[in-house]
Chain A
Amino acid sequence: MAYIDLPKDLPGIRGPMAFRPETAKPLNELAEILLHSEDNSLSRAEREMIGAYVSSLNDCFFCQHVHGAMAQHYFQCDTQFIDAIKQDYQSAAISDKLKSLLSIAGSVQKGGKYVTGQQIDNARRHGATDREIHDTVLIAAAFCMFNRYVDGLHTWAPQDRQVYIERAAMRAAEGYANSNPHK
């Protein structure tokens, strides 16, 4: 049960977004630009994976499975592949560039000051641009907000991961900007 009176049928962030549309609007716009906009040299799969990885570090069940399912949808991979990245991205079959960005995201999750110049240099060596580094840091920071919002209000989350996988194609098609929390 959530700590405040939210619509009972809405899981995760959809409850507080329905409760307070004034704040839901910029939150959805932020998610749209960071994760769904096509104006980005990072793929949607990579950006969703950064969100899922940070959410798993923050132990946020709802966010890590929503965004893990989104990454799975875009990567066209199986659940095991996503779980392998979350558990040990260094050994996963992903590009060195994405590994260098996940390393930065992992430091942001601990606190902004944990990001080192060496991590940034390493990302650049693997071809990351300023804009990609910026977006990686902001995606990681934004999920430190979304995760706290979802868990700080003690919202409920479906336990069956299939539920998240089934919604991913719809969310991929619609994006986040105008997402209706009631649907």
Chain B
Amino acid sequence: MAYIQVEEGVPGIRSLVLFRPETGKPLYELAQVLLRGPSTLTEAERELIAAYVSHRNNCIFCAGSHAAAARCLYGDEKNTVDEVLNDMQRSGINDKLKSLLHIAGKVQILGREVKPEDIAAARDQGATDREIHDTVLIAAAFSMFNRYVDGLASFTPTDPAVYEAMGERMKNGYVLPQPTKK
């Protein structure tokens, strides 16, 4: 049971933004710009950063839903997602994405954990300023979303099929949920 009175049966952040749509609006806009807006990082890569940070924050709802979205976007290479969540450094992703996920992992701990050598390593692999910026902000944003979802003890489904359906929906982008008519 969530700590505040939200609509029953509605999971995770959806229940919270229905409770407070005024803050929900910029939160969904931020997710849309970062994860679906124009970028030289693919949508799959950006969802993977989100899932990786959420996994490290042990946020089951966000990790489950964004991993599902990443699997949808990776398509035939969907195993990549679980490889990364199990052991990022030994996974089959390219070195550039590894260097960005490494930065995201530092941000998850705390901003000042990111060191000049972490940035230099990403640049050596061809990462641009904009890609480094977006990686840091995606990781920072999920350090917020994870705390929001778990700090209010929002409903976290346990059935993997529920997350699979969420991933399919999230593939199409982030639109603020509207209250169901009673």
Contact = CB atoms under 8 A, between A and B. Distances in A.
B23 A112 contact: no
Contact of B133 (A4, A112, A137): A4
Interface string B1-34: 0011100000000001001101101110110011
Given A149-B136, A152-B106, A107 B111 contact: no
Which residue, B106, B116, B151, has most C-beta atoms of chain A within 10 A? B151
Interface string B132-158: 111011011101111111111100000
B26 A33 contact: yes
Interface size class of B (residues with CB under 8 A): 35 or more
A113 B119 CA distance: 31
Interface size class of A (residues with CB under 8 A): 35 or more
Given A134-B4, A147-B111, A152-B107, A33 B22 contact: yes
A151 B110 contact: yes
Tell me whether chain B's interface is mostly helix, strand or loop, or mixed: helix
B152 A134 contact: yes
Contact of A133 (B3, B25, B26, B30): B3
A10 interface: no
7 contacts: A19-B129, A141-B143, A149-B111, A149-B136, A151-B111, A151-B112, A152-B136
Interface of B: 3-5, 16, 19-20, 22-23, 25-27, 29-30, 33-34, 37, 57-59, 103, 106-107, 110-112, 114, 116, 119, 129-130, 132-134, 136-137, 139-141, 143-153
